[in-house]
Amino acid sequence: MTGEEVIKIAREYSLRYGYDPEQYEPTAERAKDEWHVFFRGKELRPGNFFSVFVDDGAKSVRELVPGK
């Protein structure tokens, strides 16, 4: 998968959990068989971020971790 494909999967998944991905700047990094998509809020404030972990082979989300 490409970074763009992973970000698209992560955006769609985050919508189901009440996040508005348009309010975040996503970046994607691959490590072994997993992608980490970090969504940094456009408005800088504590906890305004979250991460989505995507399985490269299965092309599915493993976990969404909210900001704290």
Query: How many domains are contained in the chain?
Result: 1
pTM above 0.75, yes or no: yes
Please give the pLDDT value at position 6: 97
Q: State residue 10's pLDDT score.
A: 98
What distance lies between CA 25 and its chain's CA centroid? 10
Question: pLDDT digit of tens for each residue in the chain (68 aa)?
Answer: 999 999 999 999 999 999 999 999 999 999 999 999 999 999 999 999 999 999 999 999 999 999 98
Are the C-beta atoms of residues 24 and 11 closer than 8 Å to each other? Answer: no
- Do strands 49-55 and 34-41 pair parallel, antiparallel, or not at all (unpaired)? antiparallel
Comparing CA positions, the residue from 31, 51, 54 lying closest to residue 41 is: 51
User: How many residues make up the chain in this entry?
Assistant: 68
Range of the domain at 35: 3-66
Q: What local confidence, expressed as pLDDT, does residue 68 receive?
A: 85
Helix H or strand E segment including 2: none
